[in-house]
Amino acid sequence: MAKITASVFTSHVPAIGAAIDLGKTAEPYWQPLFAGYEFSKQWMKDNPPDVIFLVFNDHATAFSQEMIPTFAIACADQFKPADEGWGPRPVPVVKGHPDLASHIAQSVIQDDFDLTIVNKMDVDHGLTVPLSLMCGQPAADKFEWPCPVIPFAVNVVQYPVPSGRRCYNLGKAIARAVESYDQPLNVHIWGTGGMSHQLQGPRAGLINREWDNAFLDQLIADPAELAGRPHIDYVREAGSEGIELVMWLIARGAMSDQPPKVRHRFYHVPASNTAVGHLILENT
């Protein structure tokens, strides 16, 4: 039987990927941000998953206004880093896990969540930046991510987007699906995007430290209550792109009902014009 043992939560700011790719991580602006992920990279080495179920959002890269799945599970055997306008990031191709992904699709769809099945998708910064932060840059002579990844895309770009409650309950269905897989796999589930940020309009650059940290507190201690928060609160308090945080409820919902062990917590401003939040939770 497969098991979800831990969840990881992290922002996915594209400028972080650019800082890594251009060798700027030790610069004074970036050093404090990357220092917050030193623990995480070691933790990944000490607690290697067999598979990562990576909840992220596509930023009109693989999908467009022509087709907008609310929840999409990627079942292919590999996913190329996307060209988001300045060439693909120099990071490895993401290897999938078609067998587990298909099993989860079967289980979750029969459990009343209507997922879109994706058999071809390039993955943008929403997925590659969290991998870079958590795994570092793979060595040239072994240019691959440490394990297979199942990309799971959520629409948080075009309204209507799914509610926090829907995301939280979907996480529970994903956990049931993983637990009914007949191979003994150690699965980590990641929730990415956020924290407070607004990229356009008169409020561009909005950061709300207090709200972000209260969100982290509640995500750890009382996610069921947090799941009831309406979209308008995210948008008002955390900015228009702060709504990405609803995706964290999928990963949190997939954790056991026991209080998790908080292995790492980090919060930093600024990264480009956004706040960065990061948690590692282990099932107890």
Out of 197, 264, 268, 278, pick the active-site residue: 197
The smaller minimum CB distance to ligand DHB, of residues 117 and 157, is found at: 157
Query: Smallest distance, Å, CB 99 to ligand DHB?
Result: 31
* C-beta closer to ligand DHB: residue 175 or 243: 243
Residues contributing to the site for ligand DHB (CB under 6 A)? 12-15, 59, 193, 197, 199, 241, 244, 272-274
The two tokens of residue 246 are: 């609803």
Annotated catalytic residue within 12, 59, 103, 125: 125
Q: Active site includes 264? A: no
Instruction: For the chain, give the secondary structure using H, E and C.
Output: CCEEEEEEEECCCHHHHHHHHCCCCCCCCCHHHHHCCHHHHHHHHHCCCCEEEEEECCCCCCCECCECCCEEEECCCEECECECCCCECCCCCEECCHHHHHHHHHHHHHCCCCCEEECCCCECHHHHHHHHHHHCCCCHHHCCCCCCEEEEEECCCCCCCCCHHHHHHHHHHHHHHHHCCCCCCEEEEEEECCCCCCCCCCCCCCCCHHHHHHHHHHHHHCHHHHCCCCHHHHHHHHCHHHHHHHHHHHHHHCCCCCCCEEEEEEEEEEECCEEEEEEEEECC
Is residue 125 among the annotated active site residues? Answer: yes
Instruction: Supply 121's token pair.
Output: 């998708």
User: Minimal distance in Å, beta carbon 249 to ligand DHB?
Assistant: 17
Compute the C-alpha angle 44/47/49, nearest 5°. Answer: 85
Nearer of residues 12 and 252 to ligand DHB, judged by Cβ: 12
Nearer to ligand DHB, 89 or 197 (CB): 197
Q: Compute the least distance from the CB of residue 27 to ligand DHB, in Å.
A: 17
- Taking the least distance from each CB to ligand DHB, the nearer of 109 and 157 is 157
| Pick from 74, 83, 30: nearest CA to 56 | 74
- In whole angstroms, how close is the CB of 15 to ligand DHB at the nearest point? 6
Q: How far is the CB of 97 from ligand DHB (least distance, A)?
A: 25
Active-site residues, by number, are 125, 197
